[in-house]
Structure 1
Amino acid sequence: MSTIVLATRNAGKLAELQHLVAADDRLAALEVVSVASYAHLEDVVESGVTFEENASLKAHQVARETNLPAVADDSGLSVDVLNGCPGVFSARWSGRHGADQANIDLLLAQTRDVPEHLLTAAFHCSVVLAWPDGRSVAVAGRVDGRLTRNQRGDNGFGYDPIFELPDGRTMAELTADEKAAISHRGKAFRALLPQLVALMS
């Protein structure tokens, strides 16, 4: 059995990657664990200016400290009229990390006077697989849409209630399975699977 460490304490992200790995027969001998299994590991400071830089910082530090291959992701929302912001600051846009409602309220206030046709946006996710020897590979996923004026839907988290897809539904109006099939993180994790298969050979 081979092991990789997912550089997160987020049980949802761990379950998502474990589900994708379990569905691929070529990865039957791969165990995915989170950094929560390693009590001595400290959180990585996300000082990068891009999603890929932050994912790389986390993956490389965890790979070095565990001496195992490590996977990390960084993701967020970019709004075109705000020059790509909130970007890497998505989780703490309002000043406090993980304050979803405050982040949404601030973003809606900042775009209140923007014409609807200019409210284009995208969710981005970068995933990096790093080895203890310093090698790494990066993949990415993206979902395009636009901001809404009002929140819709009760599923998901973060900016999902104000991110409208081309089919007219917000991310928060999708079922968990629908979201997994089209999400930026799902796309990035699926793009990583060939690298994990190569790791196993």
Structure 2
Amino acid sequence: MKGQYMKLIIASNNEGKIKEFKKMLTPLGYEPVSMREAGINIDIAEDGTTFSENAHIKAKTIYDMTHTPVLADDSGLSIEFLGGAPGIYSARYAGENATNEDRINKVLGELKGVDKPLRNAKFVCALYFIRDDDYEICVTGECEGFIGEEPVGENGFGYDPIFMIDDDTSMACLTDEEKNRISHRAKALEKLAAELSKK
């Protein structure tokens, strides 16, 4: 696909996610654009019960509107002590208009006094790709860690500052390049790239 890029709508307007996808997908021959860049301004009801279901709902909605290749992701934080919460509600865990800081503070409040062995957590990403009427695929990726006692690091977005990958390093301490090697989204994209290369 040298010199020729296939337009790919990312079913999101989350700038952090769009940035990650562009870095990962452009080398594969795609030209990722956000919903906003594609001129799409709708709210999609994410009423699935799993990350995969929500990713499918988003991808199918945009594909039916545009008949252009679409990639949707649904991702979030799953904390063992909280029974998998915030899970599919990660983005709105502290309310509809909450900030990243609000969400982080809510999680830290719920884990106050909880010992490290019980703070295990993972980021989960489900990617749903629709190329055309004859080809669609869903893959998932996970990144394991634990929830720290306080925010650490200045990079990333969402829950990255409290998601620790070792005792001193949160996801927000990593550069984009480092994060894109180990993140749940990177792992899901690796699986997707492997599947697409077969086609």
Q: TM-score, normalised by structure 1?
A: 0.87
Runs of at least 5 residues in structure 1 that lack an aligned partner in the other structure: none
The answer to whether 1:17 aligns with 2:34 is no
Contact 2:9 2:38 survives alignment (8 Å): no
Which residue does 2:12 correspond to in 1? 8
Letter in 2 for 1:145: G
Letter in 2 for 1:13: K
Letter in 1 for 2:109: A
CA shift digits 1:76-127 (9 cap, x unpaired) = 1000011100001111111134521111111111111222211000011100
Which residue does 2:154 correspond to in 1? 154
Which residue does 1:116 correspond to in 2? 116
When residues 40 and 170 of structure 1 are mapped into structure 2, their CA distance, relative to the original with a 3 A threshold, is closer
Is the deviation greater in 85-94 or in 171-180? 171-180
Q: How does 1:49-60 map to 2 (within 5 A)?
A: 49-60=49-60
The answer to whether 1:183 aligns with 2:187 is no
Which residue does 2:73 correspond to in 1? 73
Which residue does 1:139 correspond to in 2? 139
CA shift digits 1:22-43 (9 cap, x unpaired) = 324xx3xx43322223335512
For 1:188 and 1:156, locate their aligned partners in 2 and report how far apart those are by CA, in whole Å.
18
Q: How does 1:123-134 map to 2 (within 5 A)?
A: 123-133=123-133
Is the deviation greater in 8-17 or in 140-149? 8-17
Which residue does 2:194 correspond to in 1? 194
For 1:182 and 1:151, locate their aligned partners in 2 and report how far apart those are by CA, in whole Å.
20
Letter in 2 for 1:190: E
For 2:75 and 2:159, locate their aligned partners in 1 and report how far apart those are by CA, in whole Å.
12
For 2:100 and 2:68, locate their aligned partners in 1 and report how far apart those are by CA, in whole Å.
33
Deviation at 1:20, TM superposition (A): 2.4
Q: TM-score, normalised by structure 2?
A: 0.88
Which residue does 1:172 correspond to in 2? 172
The answer to whether 1:38 aligns with 2:38 is yes
Question: Percent identity at matched positions?
Answer: 36
Q: CA RMSD in A?
A: 2.0
**SS of equivalent residue, structure 2 residue 125:** strand
For 1:31 and 1:175, locate their aligned partners in 2 and report how far apart those are by CA, in whole Å.
23
